[in-house]
Amino acid sequence: MTGGRRAVNLEARGEPFLWGMGGALSLGVLMILGFVLLIVWNGLITFYPKPLRVVHLKDGTRLAGEPTRAETYKPPAQRLESLSPEERDRMRERGGLAHRTLYRIGNYDFYNEDFRWVSDYQVERWEAPREMVFVERVEWGPFVGVVQALTLGDTTLTGEAALGERLHAAQAQAARRRARIRRIERGEIGAINHRMEKSRLTLRGVALKAGEDSAAYRQALARGEAQAAELDAAYARLAAEAAALKSEDARYTITLADINGREKVQALSEIVRIYPANALNLFQRMGVYASRWWEFLSAEPREANTEGGVLPAIFGTFVMTLLMALAVAPFGVMAALYLREYARQGRLVSAVRICVNNLAGVPSIVYGVFGLGFFAYIVGAGIDRIFYPERLPNPTFGTGGLLWASLTLALLTVPVVIVATEEALAAVPQSLREGSLACGASKWQTIKYIVLPKALPGIMTGLILAMARGAGEVAPLMLVGVVKLAPELPIDAYFPFLHLERSFMHLGFHIFDVGFQSRNSEAGKPMVFVTTLLLITLVVLLNATAIFIRNRLKRKYYVGHF
């Protein structure tokens, strides 16, 4: 007792611990929200067209580009010595700090750089002329400058006549011509090459089975030569058509000039998008913004993955995650069912559970090494020897591919499904099992009609966690099938249509490649944010679908709280 009041032991009261736990929860939520908002904001503004500036420097030079970001920095001492007394005094007032802006100058084929920092003390003035255009090209990245001339066959336009609707109509027609050339070279000529390769493999298969001195080999050789003559004629016809289109395409060009007057003659078909950045109204900016998003979601990458689209990566991520879920669900559920419902509980089962829990902590790269060694080099090589001997020594399944990547991630995530399924099975009341057995049902009938339906929501929870982890893994995929660039989807018109043995692109690896392996980190930074936003959205959609199914199952089989 002190002053008539009883001393209170804070450890006996829950308020301090409650405040501590609440504060930790709030901090965690704020960190997650901050991260998500950073990704969403930077991802959404990536494709919005920015104005172009022409910056006049005090040394008499000029540069033009998009201002991308600004920062305050401390210039080196030797730089300060080159400044005028007035500028040094102003910097001393700011604590020796200067302000600078990063401009995306483009024109990599001229300058060998995409971005350039410009400090405020270097700038004499800047302006935003309306005639400046931003040109997105198939190669060499963007071009920043002005349109000097537009050549449409035998007609050459200059000045304002080279801009406007006529330019956009000619560019759209050139894009269709480029698409037709690509269809010929990749599609139709690709189909001829496929038939030639199939004929060659058929002949080699006959040689391996019957020998080159057999009558069957001579018949196959005659058929192959006849087919080759037919395919050669078709190839020559398509090659002539492609050459004619390319010759016609060379007559439609645009002459561009940078801010210093250096000219570049560019084929119109190599222009992806062109617009006067400083003369756009809001609706035109939103049109450019929407067209860039559509290209991002529906096209293949270009310029070392820093521009263009990510459709192959979207497809690869979705199919790999789906195959992984289809593989991990049955094996994980069956293993958990045996451990919980059939196995005699004892030291051996406890040891197995400990091993399963430990597997969840194994580094993912170890699974990648195992997947490459077991699935690709052992299982895949065996498949090649049995089913594809005519293709050897070139591997078909004996190397990394979509199938082996999915199975490797299934092994990586199966401990999560086993643990979650066991917890869900244990939560089913024992009275339900006893009631079913008392009514004459067998053990399997009890599991099938009573236990599994009640445990399905918990099983779906484990599958959701497995999908979320598997969709974001990158390290094991680098060993078992993912590649930097695979513009062609692993799907075509030839049986089996979906080719699981092929390499593929993945959004997670795409982020790693653009962020850490591109020739210019600044050029890749916007694509990192927007691809991360897309990957998060894809994972959320996959999880939302699984959560919707889980909630439907909960409502259908709800029996008390478990």
Q: Do residues 209 and 265 share a domain?
A: yes
What is d(CA 95, CA 332) in angstroms, rounded to the nearest whole number?
62
Residues spanned by the domain of 201: 146-285
CATH code where residue 542 lies: 1.10.3720.10
Identify whether 466 is part of a domain.
yes
Our measurement of the distance from residue 43's CA atom to the centroid of its chain's CA atoms, rounded to an integer in Å, reads: 14
Q: Do residues 415 and 532 share a domain?
A: yes
Identify whether 392 is part of a domain.
yes
DSSP 8-state class, residue 119: E
Which tokens in the block code for residue 257?
């000039």
Whether the CB-CB separation of 325 and 335 falls below 8 Å is answered with: no
Which tokens in the block code for residue 177?
């011509």
Identify whether 308 is part of a domain.
no
Q: Do residues 472 and 508 share a domain?
A: yes
Whether the CB-CB separation of 36 and 42 falls below 8 Å is answered with: no
Q: Do residues 277 and 360 share a domain?
A: no
Give the DSSP per-residue string, 38-80: HHHHHHHHTTSPPP-EEEEETTS-EEEEEEEEEEEE---HHHH
Q: Do residues 382 and 252 share a domain?
A: no
Whether the CB-CB separation of 310 and 534 falls below 8 Å is answered with: yes
Residues in the chain: 562
Kindly tell me the burial class for residue 14, based on how many C-beta atoms sit within 10 Å of its own C-beta (0-12, 13-18, 19 or more). Answer: exposed
Which tokens in the block code for residue 349?
């089962």
Identify whether 341 is part of a domain.
yes
**pLDDT 10s per residue in the chain (562 long)?**
455 556 556 565 666 777 888 888 899 899 989 988 999 998 999 999 999 999 999 888 999 999 998 888 888 777 777 777 777 777 777 777 888 999 999 899 898 888 999 988 888 899 999 989 999 999 888 999 999 999 888 888 887 777 778 888 888 899 999 999 999 988 899 889 988 988 899 888 888 888 888 888 889 889 888 999 999 999 999 999 999 999 999 999 999 999 988 999 999 999 999 999 999 999 999 999 999 999 999 999 988 788 889 999 999 999 999 999 999 989 999 999 998 888 888 888 888 888 888 888 888 899 999 999 999 999 999 999 999 998 888 898 989 899 999 999 999 999 989 988 988 888 888 888 888 888 888 888 998 888 888 888 888 888 888 888 888 888 899 899 898 888 888 888 777 788 888 999 999 999 988 888 777 777 788 889 999 999 988 888 888 887 888 788 777 766 544 3
Q: Do residues 272 and 360 share a domain?
A: no
DSSP 8-state class, residue 441: -
Whether the CB-CB separation of 301 and 167 falls below 8 Å is answered with: no
What is d(CA 403, CA 499) in angstroms, rounded to the nearest whole number?
9
Could you say which of 285, 302, 325 is where a domain stops? 285
Whether the CB-CB separation of 273 and 179 falls below 8 Å is answered with: no
Within 10 A of 515 (CB to CB), how many other CB atoms are there? 16
Give the CA-trace dihedral at 274, 275, 278, 283, to 10 degrees: -140
Identify whether 36 is part of a domain.
no
List phi, psi (to 5°) of 150.
Answer: -130, 120
Domain total in the chain? 3
Q: Do residues 349 and 257 share a domain?
A: no
Q: Do residues 430 and 537 share a domain?
A: yes
CATH code where residue 74 lies: 2.30.30
Identify whether 9 is part of a domain.
no
What is d(CA 458, CA 153) in angstroms, rounded to the nearest whole number?
67
Could you say which of 94, 128, 162 is where a domain stops? 128
Q: Do residues 349 and 223 share a domain?
A: no
Identify whether 81 is part of a domain.
yes
Which tokens in the block code for residue 15?
């308020």
What radius of gyration do the chain's Cα atoms show? 32
Identify whether 514 is part of a domain.
yes
Q: Quote the pTM value.
A: 0.87
Which residues have a Cβ under 8 Å from the Cβ of 105 and sit 6 or more positions away? 63, 64, 65, 111, 113, 114, 115, 116, 144
What is d(CA 272, CA 180) in angstroms, rounded to the nearest whole number?
15
Q: Do residues 499 and 354 share a domain?
A: yes
Which residues have a Cβ under 8 Å from the Cβ of 235 and sit 6 or more positions away? 189, 192
Q: Do residues 182 and 324 share a domain?
A: no
Q: CA of 505: how far to CAs of 91, 300, 488, in Å?
A: 49, 11, 10
Q: Do residues 184 and 112 share a domain?
A: no
Which tokens in the block code for residue 555?
């409502």
What is d(CA 330, CA 91) in angstroms, rounded to the nearest whole number?
67
What is d(CA 2, CA 43) in angstroms, rounded to the nearest whole number?
61
Cα 185–191–195 angle (5° rounding)? 135
Our measurement of the distance from residue 279's CA atom to the centroid of its chain's CA atoms, rounded to an integer in Å, reads: 33
Our measurement of the distance from residue 485's CA atom to the centroid of its chain's CA atoms, rounded to an integer in Å, reads: 10
